[in-house]
Homo-oligomer: A and B are copies of this chain.
């Protein structure tokens, strides 16, 4: 795989301008702060191919559902992440010629995403058609210190002339979602103002009535000295700008600093306009330099917890940091209304914000790299949607408090509208229960369980109990008509993963209620309890006769068993080259399915069984989901197939940087990014939580000299440094901890390091 951009341990670097790479670069160099984010579009005008993308978390439009043939139960709308105000805009005219990288001659170009500091920088020199040569430097960031603020420093230096330059810093809400169903425009202007001291636009989304106010302020300086300029204001529909002209002198540097605030009704009930305007004024007072320093400090404290250091493999080092960086840009846990969209703030595809990716992939990452409140916030998000999940289930014919969480959502309402997914990919309910279990085993947060978790678990269990039916033929409870994690089969019966997790959910809800019931009363009746017991004892779990292989679903063995390696290049990826019916009939598996279950419930199985199932399923798996290779990598590590584990890890960690799926121009695969971190920590290092104890069974990929990472466990940070000959462990917390390393129990006292020779 070829790198699209240069390799560096902390940076993504582009050293020449290639318009064909611009869409990909806009995705890769995206910045955000968990509250809002922005693709790496240019500040100045650009008439080349580009996806102008600016997104505010939690602000959506209920786009009327588009289907072929309406089926009962379909949702009314798809809640779309909204393309929002372009706040980076700074138009530049040099002696009346507009600066536009699509028309000028670019002499030198450098773009850098500094992941350690969270900044996007660009430097270029170009010759305009009028012969004027200028040098531009811009730096921008979305503040991690105050998530309503962004700032840009935009410098211009005339190289071969002195002359007039017009600066037009602006805000522009005239943006459209490229994926709108009926080509509607989603924003309505409420108010706006343009002046040197306060410029803003207040707009609301149609139908959903979210109010977003974006304000800006600016300074202009020459060689570090403030310049006073006379600006005129420009106003158009959903557009405000200030325009001023400066006679720039050859050899001097002119810097426009633009201070932006993005305020939304998600977080403010009133006075949004004044809050935005005042915050922009205050930001200007604070100066770019100070805002930037605060921002960098916030990033450094994230890295203190979350960084993974790899020695001996620069590509992996860069990529794992890229993944960690993008995850923290997308989600900080500061706001219970937000979640983690598949593309974060880097694109529009897949619309809604929340899929089962959150619980199955993202939560385990935040659980181990952040204070527990971050993971808890993700769980509270689902608790807050419980009522809607119950309504969603009722819409499909369930009752008595059974909950079916949506496949895709922004606000708890189901948004997905393909029956085979919406109504049938119900295993998502299991991942939500599993996330609660996972959180509890990391934190032992009984208070959460009592107030929130138990209710969610019971509602989910009630769903499963109603969703099974008794099969006279099998003399077992069966689950008919589902789509498993492998979306290359639809509407199958008895998907092993779904049946297994359903049974587990029922048992875990029972166990939780029994435990909490002792002091707080039970929430389930005796009749319910006995019915639940009966179902969990008699659930059908398909298996291949006389083997240890769990059967993906009924009918799987009727397929033609062709291995993925026999596919030609013209066939791959099959989802782009084959008709849907051919895919469905084929044996090929899109992503870990039985293996996803073995990953979740590893402790329930012996290593030999896991190994045999990997050997059975891997040859038919095409990994055409970004959620697949990481699970295989972790399981390969578990069964000590280190070469395979490393190969699968590479597919995961550089998925976007190397654009494996030829789609990075649409945005990044944010929610699969934790997979690469998990492949290292749970895979190579073999880290587990067992009985309130950290368990480590580390391996070191051949190519690597060492790797180190932190784990937050019971609110304490523990650092692991794994080398060929030794493991260094540093308990940075105030309490001693218990560990098991390669089967050996050890204790590490508070603020203590130990070294284990291997």
Contact = CB atoms under 8 A, between A and B. Distances in A.
Interface stretch (A380-388, A573-581, A648-656, A686-694): A573-581
Contact of A581 (B68, B396, B575): B396
B470 A73 contact: no
Interface stretch (A85-93, A474-482, A722-730): A474-482
B576 A72 contact: yes
A396 to B, nearest CB: 4
Contacts of A555: 480, 493, 554-555
A424 to B, nearest CB: 6
Given A396-B579, A419-B581, A585-B481, A472 B72 contact: no
Contacts of A180: none
Nearest to A426: B581
B72 A577 contact: yes
A1 interface: no
Contacts of A561: 472
A72 B579 contact: yes
B71 A473 contact: no
A427 B73 CA distance: 28
Given A71-B580, A490-B491, A558 B396 contact: no
Listed residue (A418, A560, A579) with the most chain B CB atoms within 10 angstroms of its CB: A579
A417 interface: yes
A423 B480 CA distance: 22
A150 B20 CA distance: 61
Contact of A72 (B397, B424, B473, B580): B580
A520 interface: no
A464 B576 CA distance: 24
Given A469-B559, A471-B557, A68 B65 contact: yes
A66 interface: yes
Contacts of A577: 72
Given A73-B581, A579-B73, A471 B558 contact: yes
A706 to B, nearest CB: 45
A582 interface: yes
A524 interface: no
B71 A585 contact: no
Given A558-B473, A579-B396, A68 B68 contact: yes
A560 B67 CA distance: 30
How many copies of the shown chain assemble into the complex?
A: 2
Nearest to A421: B69
A285 interface: no
Contacts of A418: 68-69
A584 interface: yes
A66 B560 CA distance: 33
Given A469-B559, A480-B558, A582 B491 contact: no
Interface in A49-74: 65-69, 71-73
Contacts of A423: 579-581
Nearest to A69: B418
A395 interface: yes
B66 A473 contact: no
A469 B67 contact: no
Given A424-B581, A493-B558, A581-B424, A575 B469 contact: no
Given A474-B558, A480-B555, A558-B473, A491 B584 contact: yes
Contacts of A66: 66-68
A481 B560 CA distance: 13
Interface string A413-439: 000011110011000000000000000
Given A493-B558, A559-B480, A397 B68 contact: no
Interface string A672-713: 000000000000000000000000000000000000000000
Nearest to A582: B397
A72 to B, nearest CB: 5
Interface in A462-520: 469-474, 478, 480-481, 490-491, 493-494
Contact of A580 (B419, B470, B579): B419
Contacts of A472: 557, 561
A554 B554 CA distance: 9
26 contacts: A66-B67, A66-B68, A67-B68, A71-B580, A72-B579, A72-B580, A396-B579, A396-B581, A396-B582, A397-B578, A397-B579, A419-B580, A419-B581, A423-B581, A469-B559, A469-B560, A472-B561, A473-B557, A473-B558, A474-B558, A480-B555, A481-B581, A491-B584, A493-B555, A493-B558, A554-B555
Given A72-B576, A469-B585, 13 more contacts: A68-B417, A72-B578, A182-B182, A397-B578, A419-B581, A469-B558, A471-B558, A480-B555, A480-B559, A481-B585, A493-B555, A554-B555, A555-B555
